[in-house]
Amino acid sequence: MSLSIDNQRSGGRFWGGLSLRRKQVVWAWAFLAVPILFYALIRFYPTVEAFYLSTTNWNLFSKPGFVGLANFERLWADVVFWQVFRNTVLYLAIGTPVSLALAFTIAYHLDRVRFLHGFIRALYFLPFLTTAAAMAWVWRWFYQPVPIGMINDLLSSFGLPQQPFLRSTSQALPSVLAPAIWAGLGFQVVIFLAGLRAIPNTYYEAARIDGVSNLTILRRITIPLLKPTIIFLVVFSSIGFLRIFDQVYNMTSGDPGGPLNATKPLVLMIYQTAFSSFEMGYAAAQTVVLFLVLLAVSFLQLRLLRDR
Amino acid sequence: MAGIELQGLVKRYGATQVVHGIDLTVADGEFVVFVGPSGCGKSTTLRMIAGLEDIDGGEISIGGKVVNRLEPKDRNIAMVFQNYAIYPHMSVAENIGFGLHTAKLDKAEKRKRVEQVAGILGLEPLLERRPSALSGGQRQRVAIGRAMVRDPTVFLFDEPLSNLDAQLRAQMRLEIKRLHQRLGTTIVFVTHDQVEAMTLADRIVVMRDGRILQVGAPMELYEKPADVFTARFIGSPTMNVLPGRVVTEAGIATLALGEKPVALPTTVGTVPADVLVGVRPQQLRVLAGDEPADLVLTGSVAVIEPLGSETFVHVEFGGGLILASAPAKSPPAVGAAVRLGAPVAALTLFDAASERAL
Ligand SMILES: Nc1ncnc2c1ncn2[C@@H]1O[C@H](COP(=O)(O)OP(=O)(O)OP(=O)(O)O)[C@@H](O)[C@H]1O
Ligand SMILES: [Mg+2]
């Protein structure tokens, strides 16, 4: 308000001379200016800085020296990087479809439940609100050997062999992924539910009169109409799984990254390079790679899923 | 082809009963319109016929077969919804063809059916378009096409025209009527627009508060309304209803209303003392000078509404306004004192207590 009063006093003629549309535009920019400035300062500047740092050998203690693409060459030749890259891709490739399929199945059925609907939805949403660290500790405890670990207890009571879970190079990654999927599920369920609610009931009634099967209704009506929701969740959860960190860090905290780096994702590698080895230039090169991967994946998904 | 029979149809939502035992027989090939004010249970009744709502009492048969427990798809009906319910992600052809999804026809035959229906409705050039690229009337036609393609025995329409503007509504009304003449399929049509009901129906069902008030052909309802509600609901503009007193002396009943008592025909039978007198604006004319009439009312003109072919005049009478008609060319002036007259045959008498026609 004060802005408009000032404007009218000092630049009264200028403000009064603007058309209504222009005035709206000026107001819109006035409101946008603060977040844009904030973003430029907090987001874009460090991003640009990271690009610059990725071409230096900065290690916190010395002045950064320009080394060209040496960091990227080193990364290309680094076996650990490729292991980490593979892990990250696995988190994405398993996490996104599994979590979306689960969330959709739950939402689809929950949508038909009236009894305790809100309560069940809250139960699914709760993990989303819980800190990753606390949850990770509970899950670690699940995965312990007998007699502590619940899952192994269950297995042995059925006479099945014990599983090493987090201690195994092959089982560690899925074991870390499970709580990560579980944690994000509530959010996805709620979004799916909102999407399902937005589909007019008469679409289903018309289909019932036409006598098509539930499966056809699902395939030909529900899923196509949910497409905007699905696109959003695919992109959103892909970004989440590509940037997975706290689950891994907390689940394997004695040995971050699991046995033989079996669970280590890119973000954890960046964290370790930067804050254990203090190789800031090298870490910056890794963030640049992560950034490019995120960009490429999101772009690709949007292109593939958009209306043809 | 099939008729519909409703017997003691009841619907409750929780504790509130919204349909109170409806009995109705719809003949094969008949066009029946349900009409009534908002919330009177028209849609609910239609949806029970369709099988979209469970029935809490009574019986529905279609084509002589009780369908109370049949799924909608097994009732061989088709329904057109108010919001059309056509799928935005499918083309017009796919939308129309969706009703054939379960039919045991091969692709070419299905396509042929779709094209045939599109031909009838004039949708051929639009078959590959998405609904978002159609006008309101075209969408409405797609919705009808979807219903037609399965060749149902009964069409159910739930206010299919209420999303259209007045001109388009009149046009679609005509198209639906012609379609019915061409296909001869039984149609149950719900609307709250009495003009739609009058123009479309073979028979009109007037509903109020979950009950049927009257069933009859349009002109029958117009000329012999069973009660005040139907009388005022059917016909445009609304019928004037005035309180009056009837005096019966030596077997001759006279109505004390207006300038002079009106002698009622002897056919009326026993008449209560307090009545409501209904007279349609078209039959209550502004009299020229001291022209005689059976019923004569006097008052001063409040508002004049010229419609071109005739002019309606709102006249202050008995503390309210009554509507009368005047010649289009020479209407009275606002504020002028006028005499209004109607023949005794144009009067409909209602019992003031029960509001039923006498
Ligand atoms: N799901 C429901 N739960 C409770 N009451 C309902 C439900 N659906 C409808 N009703 C009630 O039933 C009555 C009849 O509703 P209905 O939809 O049949 O009215 P209508 O005659 O079609 O009115 P309109 O002309 O406004 O469409 C209304 O009083 C409405 O409030
Ligand atoms: Mg309705």
pLDDT in tens, B128-169: 999 999 998 899 899 999 998 988 999 999 999 888 888 888
- Asked if the Cβ–Cβ distance from A212 to B78 is below 8 Å, we say no
User: For chain B, how big is the Rg over CA atoms in Å?
Assistant: 25
What's the rounded Cα separation, in Å, for the pair A248 and A263?
7
Given CB atoms, is B77 within the 8 Å cutoff of chain A?
A: yes
In a domain, B346, yes or no: yes
- Does B339 contact ligand 1 (Cβ within 6 A)? no
- Whole-number pLDDT of residue B1: 63
**Residues B152 and B217 grouped into a single domain:** yes
Given CB atoms, is A225 within the 8 Å cutoff of chain B?
A: yes
Chain B hits for A213, CB-CB cut-off 8 Å, are: 102
Domains in chain A (CATH in brackets) are 15-53 (no CATH), 77-305 (1.10.3720.10)
Where residue B165 sits, what CATH number does that domain have? 3.40.50.300
Where residue B297 sits, what CATH number does that domain have? 2.40.50.140
Residue pLDDT, tens place only, A35-92: 889 888 888 888 899 999 999 998 888 888 899 899 999 999 999 999 999 999 999 9
Give Cα B118 to chain centroid, integer Å: 28
pLDDT band at A259 (very low <50, low <70, confident <90, very high): confident
**Residues B258 and B112 grouped into a single domain:** no
**Residues B215 and B277 grouped into a single domain:** no
- Whole-number pLDDT of residue A2: 45
Q: How many domains does chain B have?
A: 2
Q: Is B292 exposed, middle or buried (0-12, 13-18, 19+ CB in 10 A)?
A: exposed
Given CB atoms, is B130 within the 8 Å cutoff of chain A?
A: no
Best of B42, B55, B194 for a ligand 1 pocket test (most atoms within 8 Å of beta carbon): B42
**Residues B161 and B34 grouped into a single domain:** yes
**Residues B271 and B196 grouped into a single domain:** no
Helix, strand or coil for residue A123? Answer: helix
Please give the share of chain A, as a percent, with pLDDT higher than 90.
53
Nearest CA to ligand 1 atom 3: B13
> Nearest chain B Cα to A206, which residue?
B85
ipTM: 0.83
**Residues B67 and B168 grouped into a single domain:** yes
In a domain, B47, yes or no: yes
What's the rounded Cα separation, in Å, for the pair B141 and B160?
10
Give Cα A147 to chain centroid, integer Å: 35
pTM metric for this prediction: 0.82
Phi-psi region of B321 (alpha: psi -120 to 50; beta: other; left: phi over 0): beta
In a domain, B248, yes or no: yes
Q: Which two tokens stand for residue A264?
A: 């280590």
**Residues B214 and B294 grouped into a single domain:** no
The parent domain of residue B275 ranges over 240-351
Q: Mean pLDDT of all residues in chain B?
A: 91
Query: Which of B233, B265, B288 is the last residue in one of the domains?
Result: B233
For residues A92 and A297, is the Cβ–Cβ distance under 8 A?
yes
Chain B hits for A203, CB-CB cut-off 8 Å, are: 85, 87
Residue pLDDT, tens place only, B235-254: 989 999 999 998 888 778 88
Q: Which of residues 131-190 of B touch A (CB under 8 A)?
A: 146, 150
For every residue of B262-276, DSSP letters joined together read EEPPGGG-S--SEEE
CA of B39 to the centre of ligand 2 (A): 7
In a domain, B356, yes or no: no
Higher per-residue pLDDT: B314 or A39: B314
Closest CA to A222 of A142, A109, A68, A129: A109
- Does B18 contact ligand 1 (Cβ within 6 A)? yes
Average pLDDT over residues B316-322: 91
Residue owning tokens 């979209």: B52
What's the rounded Cα separation, in Å, for the pair B208 and B198?
17
For residue A21, the distance in angstroms to the closest alpha carbon of chain B comes to 29
Nearest CA to ligand 1 atom 18: B41
- Does B41 contact ligand 1 (Cβ within 6 A)? yes
**Residues B227 and B250 grouped into a single domain:** no
- Asked if the Cβ–Cβ distance from B101 to A203 is below 8 Å, we say no
Amino acid at B213: L
What's the rounded Cα separation, in Å, for the pair B160 and B157?
6
Of the candidate ranges A130-134, B61-65, B196-200, the one whose mean pLDDT is the lowest: A130-134
